[in-house]
Structure 1
Amino acid sequence: MADRPGLRDRRRRSAHEKGLWELRESLTSRISELEALLRAKTGRGELPVEAQALADQAFKELEEARSTLRHDHRRRIPAAHLAVAQTRFDVAHNLMLRIASLDEVTAMMPGLVAYIREHLPVSDERRVQVEEIALAIRSGSALHEVQREVVVDAVAVARHSHLRENLRVRSFTYVVYGMSVALSVIVVVLGVLGAMAPETVPLCFRPEKIGVVCPTESDMSEGSRDPDGDIDDLYATVASSWDYPVVLFIGIVAAAVAAATSLRRIKGTSTPYNVPVALALLKLPTGALTAVLGLLLMRGEFVPGLQALDSSAQIVAWAVIFGYSQQLFTKLVDNQAQSVLNSVGGPHSTPGKPTRDPQTPAA
């Protein structure tokens, strides 16, 4: 039986939309709720001409938000859909705050103040004024039209600040993904070149009076202990095309273990940008490269006393250590990631106190 067109559309969207489904559905529900509230207000036919114009524009913004969430354009970024739809919803909600009665805005003040405190710094004058207005309302004063404008303006700025916070997370995530792709390309190229010409820069060692040892091959014959010719020629004969791929793979495995361990320090995020996954992907090619570079440093006697590896097992063991040690470099990226995530409503979430009694005139 053929699928219905609507079902095919939903399947096609689910195949290409990779954003957080929960966030999309949550925003869709909020759009429906706000639309119902606006219809209830406009259905009475009691709105002035100016308020009706604001309501009409709010309906347009909500429809644009729905359209953004519904479309199935494959080339657009799903997380960007949520940001655009959220912006449309915020504009519609601000318009609704201007249409609502002063009593209704007064009832919404606790939530509005909490949102402003979450996204505006304590020193922001708009936040200070809103907190003074909220304190005056708790003291029994009525909300005035001018005060409503102050609250709506502060909410709009707080929403814009929230958008900037999410955009910083998105920018950071894309930078990490870009670096992961670039390092992965380098790993692939290095693995291919190492497999095609392992004798160019061999990962081999020549412990004294033992022979030549490589990650996957070794030569303990009498000729390898006291070679007549160039030692590089001996390395070229023992080096295997599997040396580089094996070391790179071991570095990736060690980095994966380090990534799993480091994720315990990264808090989750409600943003549609998966920062922990981006960080984990960055560690994998980094571990592969540090495994190879670490062995090359040992082969070049960069650390005296650590160049005489006498078995393939020892080389593999050091590759594991160097692959895991990428954490020393990527830890800085982890710290920056946590700082970026904390900035989403984090640094400004400390409640501020009004500088004076709002019912007392300033000196």
Structure 2
Amino acid sequence: MVVVGTLKPRVTDWRLVVGSRLDRVRADLVALGPPDPLDQEGQGWREVAEREAAVVDDMINRGEPRWRSVASWWSGWHIERAWRSLHEAEIAAVAAGNGFLGRLPGLKARVAENLPEDDHRRRALEGLRPGEFPLAVEREIVVDALRAAFDASDFAHAGSRALRNKLIATSVVLFAVNTLLGVLGFVDPRMIPMCVSSEKLPTVCPSGRGAGASDVWLIQVLGAFGAVLSAVVLLLRRRPSLSPYVMVGYQALIKVLLGAALAVVGVLALGAGVTTGLIGVASQAALLVWAVVLGYGQQIATRLLDSYTDRVMDQARPLPRLEGQR
């Protein structure tokens, strides 16, 4: 049956990462060899791994009707379902064999990535010694620690998605505000005056020919240009991330839109005489330069957002840090 109006799955970073780890799970299952008839619990875990691997395969290869793709992108349900099922498959693949304690160093490193040092499940895993407990008990210790670690990673994914959606909503609001300011200034330049005057200096307008309908738009463009400079700095210092949600584009968009709005507000403040005695605008060129500077000034407000986003993205990393990384 042919489904009309569906989208083929895109090749995205998170699909590549999930797909490669899914191949690793299947390779681990093959390496286990034939099931041990005396280990019924291990056989059960093998079936769980195969079932969850099938779910992951469906999530990364499925197509959706176009009208549903936007809702799926917003909710991120297919991304998070793929990661959760992948984590369950990885846990089951580890628990399916009876030689998983040979992988204990790697398991400890993965758990230490997401659980604090005082977590009892992490401490139990790190204190585990081969042969100290029956196989069933050792298996439960490993499974509990891995589940807790992966749950922390999955919750971090949900947190990064929520942050992404907030950034998008904020961008929409800023875009609407900037558009409204530009339209009001175009309809009646006196409504949002962009000219700056003082007692000792002549009146200066962005267009250079008195108040004009395009003054607000011009100031917004220059303010956005100043914000672009700070967005370039953000891009240069941004570390590569394999998180399924990439924030840097939305952060840059907010900087640009906020820079445009702050440039308008700043020029209004100059025209209102707020900076009298401190800043004097003697020419059109000086006024336009100040619009760029005011647009760049949004960096002060967005620095906290950048720091918070960095913390969220650090928690949402799907791959463990290498030894020595911070």
**What letter corresponds to residue 176 of structure 1 in structure 2?**
L
Partner of 2:79: 82
The aligned counterpart of 1:156 is 147
Q: Distance in 2 between matches of 1:308 and 1:87?
A: 59
Greater CA deviation, 119-128 or 36-45? 36-45
- Give the total of aligned pairs: 313
Separation (CA, whole Å) in 2 of partners of 1:199 and 1:18: 51
Take 1:114 and 1:25, find their aligned partners in 2: how far apart are those partners?
23
Cα shift at 1:99? 2.4
Q: Which of the residues 167, 179, 192 maps onto 2:183?
A: 192
SS at the partner of 2:233? helix
Q: Specify every segment of 5 or more residues in structure 1 that has no aligned partner in the other structure, as ranges.
A: 219-237, 352-363
What value does the CA root-mean-square deviation take over the aligned residues? 3.0
Contact 1:205 1:308 in 2 (8 A): no
Aligned partner of 1:96 among 84, 93, 98: 93
Structure 1 segment 1-363 matched on structure 2, within 5 A: 12-13=7-8, 17=10, 19-20=12-13, 23-38=14-29, 41=32, 43=34, 46=37, 48-73=39-64, 74-75=69-70, 76-77=72-73, 80-101=77-98, 104-133=99-128, 136-137=129-130, 144-145=134-135, 146-208=137-199, 211-218=202-209, 238-306=210-278, 308-344=280-316
1:181-225 per-position Cα deviation (integer Å, ceiling 9, x unaligned): 21111111111111111122211123447653211033xxxxxxx
Deviation at 1:339, TM superposition (A): 2.2
Contact 2:94 2:100 in 1 (8 A): yes
Separation in 1, partners of 2:203, 2:303: 36
CA drift of 1:168 comes to 1.9
1:204-261 CA distance string (max 9 Å, x none): 123447653211033xxxxxxxxxxxxxxxxxxx310110110000000110011112
Structure label with greater radius of gyration: 1
Partner deviation per Cα, 1:311-346 (whole Å, 9 max, x = no partner): 221211111111111111111111212222333469
1:116-145, CA deviations, whole angstroms, 9 ceiling, x for partnerless residues? Answer: 111100110111111111xx34xxx56632
How far the C-alpha of 1:263 sits from its partner, in A, is 3.6
CA displacement 1:54-87 (0-9 Å, x = unmatched): 4333322111111111112223229643321121
Report SS of the residue matched to 1:117.
Answer: helix
Query: Is the Cα–Cα contact under 8 Å of residues 267 and 338 in structure 1 kept in the other structure?
Result: no
- Give the AA of the match of 1:144: P
CA distance in 2, matches of 1:144, 1:294: 71
Q: Distance in 2 between matches of 1:106 and 1:337?
A: 37
Paired with 2:17 and 2:279, the residues of 1 have a C-alpha distance of 59
Please, what TM-score do these two structures have when normalized by structure 2?
Answer: 0.85
User: Would the aligned equivalents of 1:184 and 1:285 in 2 still touch at CA under 8 Å?
Assistant: yes
Measured against aligned partners, the alpha-carbon deviations of 1:97-131 in whole angstroms (never above 9, x if no partner) come to 33211xx2111111111001111001101111111
CA distance in 1, matches of 2:317, 2:15: 20
1:250–1:110: structure 2 CA closer, same or farther, 3 Å change rule?
Answer: same
Partner of 1:199, secondary structure, is coil
C-alpha displacement of 1:148: 2.3
Report the Cα offset of residue 29 of structure 1: 3.2
Gaps of 5+ in 2: none
Q: Deviations over 1:238-293 (max 9, x none)?
A: 31011011000000011001111234444332202112222111100110011110
Q: Which moved more, 1:171-180 or 1:326-335?
A: 171-180
C-alpha distance in structure 2 between counterparts of 1:205 and 1:34, whole Å:
67
In the aligned structure 1, how far is the partner of 2:311 from the partner of 2:87? 26
Question: Which stretch of the first structure deviates more once superposed, 315-324 or 246-255?
Answer: 315-324
Q: Distance in 2 between matches of 1:184 and 1:252?
A: 12
Cα distance 1:194–1:18, how it changes in 2: closer, same or farther (>3 A)?
farther
Q: 1:100 corresponds to which letter in structure 2?
A: G
CA 1:309–1:345 in structure 2 vs 1: closer, same or farther (change >3 Å)?
closer
Q: Percent same amino acid at aligned positions?
A: 27
CA distance in 2, matches of 1:132, 1:58: 26
TM-score by length of 1: 0.77
